[in-house]
Amino acid sequence: MNPIKRKTIVEKTAQDLGLSVQTVDEIVSFYYKTVQKKLSAAEHQSIAVPNLGTFVVKRKALEEKIKKNIYFVQKIETNVDISVQTYELIIQKRKDIANYLQLLELMNLEQKRKQEVKLKKQEFKDGKSN
């Protein structure tokens, strides 16, 4: 499935429905923000949207986010005097890191499963050709 740019979707939908481009753009941008928030919550590695495609968390971006948050927490924890707000921020970042690590583990399990399926397919092909 080829990805479609938001601007293209907005213009085509506005034209088909006879609505203003601005109204359709607001609706579509809200929808995309909702999908983005679900991905950012790190509960699932992908979200399938019917007739639009599958939105997937990229491994490299997730690993960078984990490194960035760990560095941030370590940097703040070195301060002797921290406020209650800062402490709450540290707790939230640690929770985020735990969620990201759990998602990374899910991604590793899925990659391992795909490799096993690929090997089984290859073994089946090799066995059938004999």
The tens digit of pLDDT for each residue in 55-88 reads 888 899 899 999 999 999 999 888 878 888 988 9
pLDDT at 1 > cutoff 70: no
Residues 6+ apart with CB under 8 A from 17: 24
- Domain finish residue from 40, 57, 74: 57
User: Tell me, what's the pLDDT at 17?
Assistant: 87
Would the pLDDT of 18 be above 80? yes
Same domain, 49 and 98: no
Q: Which stretches of the chain are assigned E, i.e. beta strand?
A: 46-49, 53-56
Structural domain for 110, as ranges = 58-130
Give me the number of domains the chain comprises: 2
What would the mean pLDDT of 33-54 be, rounded to a whole number? Answer: 80
Q: Are residues 62 and 123 both part of a single domain? A: yes
